[in-house]
Structure 1
Amino acid sequence: MNLRTILILGALSAFGPLAIDFYLPGFPAMAVAFGTDEKRIQTTLAAYFLGLSIGQLAYGPVADRFGRRIPLLAGVTLFTLASLACAFAPSLDTLVVARFVQALGGCAGMVLSRAIVSDKCDAVGSAKVFSQLMLVMGLAPILAPMLGGVLVNLYGWQSIFIALTLFSAVCALTVAWGLPESLPANQPRPPLSGALGQYGRLLKDGVFLGYALTGGIAMAGMFAYVAGSPFVFIKLYGVPAEHYGWLFGMNAAGFILVAQVNARLLAKRAPSSLLARTIWVYLLAGLVVLGISALHTQALWPLLVPLFLCIASLGCIIPNASACAMNGQGARAGSASALLGCLQFSVAAGAAGLVSALHDGTALPMALVITLCGAGAVTAAVLTRRLQLKRSA
């Protein structure tokens, strides 16, 4: 797969995290603007997660039937219009609805980028490309909060959504001019009427489901961090909003670095083997985060070190789990990608909502949810690995 295609797919995959990370520094300003507290502002985040979960299921069967380009262009266009609606939302309720619609458009890039990789690569090749996509996607968490903090301070929170509108419009033009159809012309095109049956067969596939849940539960821990970190860093530890992006970016840099190391390790080890080892690092780091949060330390740095390890380990976990789940899906790659994303973000929405529900003015809710996600991901990985070895035998 050439560099231009990888860059385009990386930008499309970044729609989800970019639309989340970019506006996190604006939470305090948005709470003031709508006359509410930050706990209610977090509902816009939960609405976005919900939209990502539901929307992906619609794109999969459509992409398997009509190809990748048409639904991709439709989704990016919807994201553009919804971003503009977010910028001019007159109330918090309107903003929540607009964020939901924005997610329905943004998830097209996430579903179809995975499907395009599956169209062109085998399991190891897919894992390598997914790791490379982490490099492009990882720039969003590094740059978005920093730029978002600057925009909020200079022009207000609405400017964040204006910037998202412009970014998505450019992406739509890039897809139209530079991304050819990847679905082979001679490949069977399943009818839309069989979509539910296709999803049913995927859900009965224990290996696909296990790997999807492994990556999804681990990713949910990351979104628990995304949902809880603005309060923990800015309010609890007094980090200025404009400096929040530096801390967020540090963890994203670890994520990128591990993803690139993972791409090199794939030359000697299978994706499933690397996943089975790295998932334990995530759980152990989460347990340390929980222990330090329970101590209510005055200094921030003891919490930052294990958080860094948690987020960095995902640079290996997510691409390998995705590649293992998508391996051999063939004609149903679009549906498999859609269900994979739906499962991932359904769990993520639940994790973000749980952090909000458990909010008690400390870092414990965020730490507890991260640790629970680590335990769940390890359980899913171990059981799936056993099932896969049993099938091979």
Structure 2
Amino acid sequence: MSNRSTRTVILILGGLAAMAPFSIDMYLPGFPHIAQALQTDIAHVTLSLTSYFIGISLGQLVYGPLLDRFGRKKPVLVGLALYSLASIGCALALNVQLLIGFRFLMALGGCAGMVAVRAIVRDMFPVNEIAKTISLLMLVMGAAPIVAPTIGGYVVMTLGWRGIFLVLVGWGVWLVFLVARILPESKEADPSVSLNPGPVLLEYLRLFRDPWLMAYTLSGGLSAAGMFAYISGSPFVFMQLFHLSEQQYGWVFGSNAFGLIASSQLNRLFLRHLTSAQLVRIGVTLHALTGLLLVLGNARGFLPPLGTMILVFCYLFIQGMLYPNTSALALEPYAKNAGVVSGLMGFLQSIVATIASALVSVLHNGTAIPMTGVMAGCALIGFCCLFGGEIIIGNKRAATTAV
């Protein structure tokens, strides 16, 4: 591909990748208005967020084999159509039950793009360029959670909360046009790929037992889960414990997001001198050490608020470097079935992120320990997954060589 074509493809893939953060974060400012309009409380409105997460997790398992069977574009177009129609349903919802149901359908449609992005990157770019390409995509993926609530707030003020979903309808329709007319098909349909539940389940189980895929999927997924633990716990820790104002918290949150984006772009420079595998080993080690300092410093009381904020920044900075490299390494051996591999990756990473967020809430005790403890736990388990997986891979190779 020419440089211009490559940039166009990356922009379209970025639009697909950003659907989830925009669909999640853009309507958050409208929660009070939704509750009032639908004559319910915010707790019930929050269930529409839960249903979206469930839809994202399950939907990725569904789209994996579909992308391998029918090519990349057709399932994405079907998913985008479902996403757009469900967004219309959300905009017209007359009660919270309908909103919850349509949000689930939105997620089922929108996650087609999430799965396809990883598979298309594996199809279209050389193995040694995958990590660099994912780093570029993280510009959009990292910026979306920052700007989405602000955009949502303005839309609520001008068009009301239903206007948010109309904007998302427009996004979905625009992506349908871009995918149908501009995005090239990266993989031809393969009728040999079975869609029967039995063979699909066996394929997922086979991949689940692959130490290579699990080592990099879980180490990357757990690093992201630590970030979700921070997102879940930081409002209480920074504003209630550290007494930051809402404006100050916004600046800290934005600075941390900038660090994550910056490190993902610096990753492209690091890859000129180090391999993805080397960067992942360095990253998970630094991540684990940073997490330990965070939780021990807060548990023992020797870490001041500023120290905690600096270490959180470092934690997220490292995570921005880890995700592109773990994703690239996980996808590397799977040119033929990148769709089903991408689906399993997304499912597992969504599950661990959801568990991490829930743990912060369940363990809440009025201190910073739940947030920092879950962040440290994610980093340490990710460290064990990576190096444990590499030991298993090494033993298998040694056994094969001996035979």
TM-score bracket for the superposition, by shorter chain length:
0.7 to 0.9
Per the alignment, residue 136 of structure 1 pairs with: 140
> Offset of 1:280 from its aligned partner?
2.5
Gaps of 5+ in 1: none
Cα pair distance change 1:77/1:373, threshold 3 Å: same
Out of 81, 95, 108, the position equivalent to 1:104 is 108
Rg (Cα) greater in structure: 2
- Answering whether residue 184 of structure 2 is matched by residue 180 of structure 1, we say yes
Out of 359, 377, 387, the position equivalent to 1:382 is 387
Out of 325, 333, 336, the position equivalent to 1:331 is 336
Distance 1:202 1:101 in 2: 27
Give SS of 2:330's match.
helix
User: Which amino acid counterpart does residue 59 of structure 1 have in structure 2?
Assistant: Y
Cα pair distance change 1:382/1:25, threshold 3 Å: farther
Number of residue-to-residue matches in the alignment: 390
Out of 259, 263, 266, the position equivalent to 1:258 is 263
Out of 205, 208, 213, the position equivalent to 1:208 is 213
Deviations 1:275-294 (A, max 9, x none): 11111232333334435655
Query: Could you tell me whether the CA contact under 8 Å between 2:21 and 2:148 is conserved in 1?
Result: no
Out of 184, 195, 216, the position equivalent to 1:192 is 195
Deviations 1:314-339 (A, max 9, x none): 21111111111111112211111111
> Offset of 1:341 from its aligned partner?
0.6
Give SS of 1:330's match.
coil
Cα pair distance change 1:132/1:171, threshold 3 Å: same
Per the alignment, residue 169 of structure 2 pairs with: 165
Give SS of 1:331's match.
coil
Cα pair distance change 1:369/1:281, threshold 3 Å: same
Distance 1:184 1:35 in 2: 48
Distance 2:28 2:315 in 1: 20
Distance 2:139 2:207 in 1: 29
- TM normalised by structure 1 equals 0.88
- TM normalised by structure 2 equals 0.86
Cα pair distance change 1:31/1:274, threshold 3 Å: farther
Out of 352, 372, 378, the position equivalent to 1:367 is 372
Query: Could you tell me whether the CA contact under 8 Å between 1:143 and 1:249 is conserved in 2?
Result: no
Distance 1:94 1:290 in 2: 42
Give SS of 1:192's match.
coil
Runs of at least 4 residues off by over 6 Å? none
- Answering whether residue 63 of structure 2 is matched by residue 67 of structure 1, we say no
Query: Could you tell me whether the CA contact under 8 Å between 1:64 and 1:189 is conserved in 2?
Result: no
Gaps of 5+ in 2: 399-403
Distance 1:232 1:195 in 2: 43
Could you tell me the percent identity over the aligned residues? 42
> Offset of 1:106 from its aligned partner?
1.4
> Offset of 1:213 from its aligned partner?
1.2
